[in-house]
Structure 1
Amino acid sequence: MWLTVQIALWGTTLAVLFAIPFGLMCARNVSPVWLQQPMRLLMNLLRSVPDLVIGTVFIVAVGLGPFAGVMALALNTGGVLAKLFSEAVEAIDRGPVEMRRLPLLFTNSQNMRQFGQEFLRPDFTHLDLYVSKMWLTVQIALWGTFLAVLMAVPFGLACARNTAPVWLQQPMRLLMNLLRSIPDLVVGMLFLVAVGPGPLAGVLAIALNTGAVLAKLFSEAVESIEAGPVEGVRATGAVRLQEIIWGVLPQVAPLWTSYGLYRLESNARSATVLGLIGAGGIGQTLFETINSFGYNQVSAIVVVIVVAVSLIDFLSQIIRSRLL
């Protein structure tokens, strides 16, 4: 377990170092268009490629071991953080573990050359199958995110200091922390035992984990609202529920929607990974293709995943720009 924590720490550290410059380059208010647009496309690509595929690339490059996990986490998390960092920069006020193996990335070129020759020639023979499996994966992400939002709204309000009493707020925060700390794969395996293999297990796993994440984000948004509108509603003699409906929700609705859309994009990738344990979608096809060393087919599947996640990201950006 300590080794796993070290992998996470090193991966996150490298991801932050990676995300700071790329986040700045992706921000519209600090980077020119000719640099910003290619950087955004690159970050979309890194976020949309599943961790498993990136890990496989580094295993081919540097061999088995924790270092491959560190680099896979760093690259994927760096893409995610770069997006978050760039959005934070755009939102600012416009006014006044085995790091010694790093050289193997450049010296172990024979394996990478063989891998790259096949990976750069995608085989779209079974494109219809890949598209249908990807659509199933998107449906899993949509249903999981929808159920997560339904779960996060009441729990987010119950976790906020300014809308819930202490005796309710503290247990709810502990419960949400517990649900967030359990990996998606573990939750998915529990639901596989309960309901059997298939998309439903993936939907429930995403809903539970994402619901806890959104509950935390929703509660922080509620705690940062202005007290004036709530006090105005209270002055009319409104009860607690009416204060929340008319004083709290109008202030947090745009931010909540933005969080939900971001998690939808993230869940499209998570649903791919859950397919590896039999939770349906394109992940199972990807896992079987990797095990058979069919890197031409793996490349085609990755292209389908990248296109789908990029479309989701593009649509969510349009919706967020209209709301915020």
Structure 2
Amino acid sequence: MKNIQLFWFKFSHYYPWVRWLLVLAGVVAVYTWALSGLQVDFALLKDSYPYIVDFISRLFPPNLEVVDIAIKALIETVQMSLWGTTIGAIISLPIAIASSRNIAPQWLRWLANFLQNIVRSVPSIVLGLLFVAATGLGAPAGMLALSIYTIGYLAKFYQEAIEAVNPRSLESLRVIGASPIQIAQYGILPQILPLGLGYTLWMFEYNIRAASVLGVVGAGGIGFQLKSYIDGFEYTKATTMMLVLLVVVTVIDVISSHLRHKLESMS
């Protein structure tokens, strides 16, 4: 075994291109396997082009008579996203601390990471259905679904930020007898705050889009109106909804990106 390892070490040292060739062959093999499982019919895709053009043509011109409805629904979507992101962020922080290997004991890390995996494994659409069943149709169901959905991602983002904290500062606090809460308060939060706020802004921006999907199951917001128009074959009204959503998402993206860059410069 040692002889084989030694041979491979010398061979890869003198012929490094062989290693990269093997990596490339492995990547090609994986993608070929994935494509074969999809069973894509390229001939069918080619023949479906006229149907795609026909569907897109039905979306135009936008029906501007429903702009006021679109704006009202969009405001509800932003409200859902704002509260959902805030609640999710607050709950995510202690879970992230409990998941971090540089703070929490192993048994607590295992439980916290398992909780994160459970939350991330549940699709947002299922969360929407769950809370629609619990609270009925409307924005409250969407807000609660976004709160849980946010935990699955922000907890992981916060955990990564915490684990990247300078270990010397934490060790200094431990030496002087600081408690775990004091370590989190004085050693971790000041270092991760700019990065954590940046992640939270990104999640808020993402939740605007996710909220529009949750509307499909009756969880309020612009997605509910969008689905209603599509179900009624009122495609031009649906286009108006999508255009209003596009404008607002673009504006929020520009603002949040600017804020994230400022926060990153502070870290």
TM over 0.5: yes
Of 274, 279, 290 in structure 1, the residue corresponding to residue 214 of structure 2 is: 274
Of 223, 227, 249 in structure 1, the residue corresponding to residue 189 of structure 2 is: 249
The residue that corresponds to 1:119 in the other structure is 59
Cα distance in 2 for partners of 1:273, 1:109 equals: 26
Matching residue's letter, 2:107: W
The residue that corresponds to 2:99 in the other structure is 159
Q: For each residue in 1:229-284, what CA deviation from the matched residue of structure 2 results, as whole angstroms up to 9, or x when unmatched?
A: 22233344422211111111111111111111111111111111111111111111
What are the ranges of 5 or more consecutive residues in structure 1 without an aligned counterpart?
1-12, 18-66, 68-96
The answer to whether structure 1 residue 308 and structure 2 residue 248 are counterparts is: yes
Matching residue's letter, 2:129: M
The residue that corresponds to 1:99 in the other structure is 40
SS of alignment partner, residue 125 of structure 1: helix
Cα distance in 1 for partners of 2:49, 2:121 equals: 37
Q: How many residues align?
A: 230
Cα distance in 2 for partners of 1:154, 1:254 equals: 17
Cα distance in 2 for partners of 1:116, 1:185 equals: 25
SS of alignment partner, residue 64 of structure 2: coil
Q: TM-score, normalising length from structure 1?
A: 0.67
Matching residue's letter, 1:111: Y
Residue 115 of structure 1 and its aligned partner are, at CA, apart by 2.1
Cα distance in 2 for partners of 1:132, 1:285 equals: 10
Identity among equivalent positions (%) equals: 35
> How do 1:14-163 and structure 2 match up within 5 A?
97-100=38-41, 102-163=42-103
SS of alignment partner, residue 161 of structure 1: coil
Cα distance in 1 for partners of 2:49, 2:130 equals: 41
What are the ranges of 5 or more consecutive residues in structure 2 without an aligned counterpart?
1-26
The residue that corresponds to 2:156 in the other structure is 216
Cα distance in 2 for partners of 1:261, 1:103 equals: 43
Q: For each residue in 1:36-92, what CA deviation from the matched residue of structure 2 results, as whole angstroms up to 9, or x when unmatched?
A: xxxxxxxxxxxxxxxxxxxxxxxxxxxxxxx9xxxxxxxxxxxxxxxxxxxxxxxxx
Matching residue's letter, 1:138: V
Q: TM-score, normalising length from structure 2?
A: 0.81
Residue 116 of structure 1 and its aligned partner are, at CA, apart by 2.5
SS of alignment partner, residue 127 of structure 1: helix
Residue 104 of structure 1 and its aligned partner are, at CA, apart by 4.1
Of 126, 136, 140 in structure 2, the residue corresponding to residue 196 of structure 1 is: 136
Matching residue's letter, 1:129: I
Cα distance in 2 for partners of 1:232, 1:302 equals: 53
The answer to whether structure 1 residue 225 and structure 2 residue 165 are counterparts is: yes
Contact kept in structure 2, 1:115 and 1:295, CA below 8 Å: no
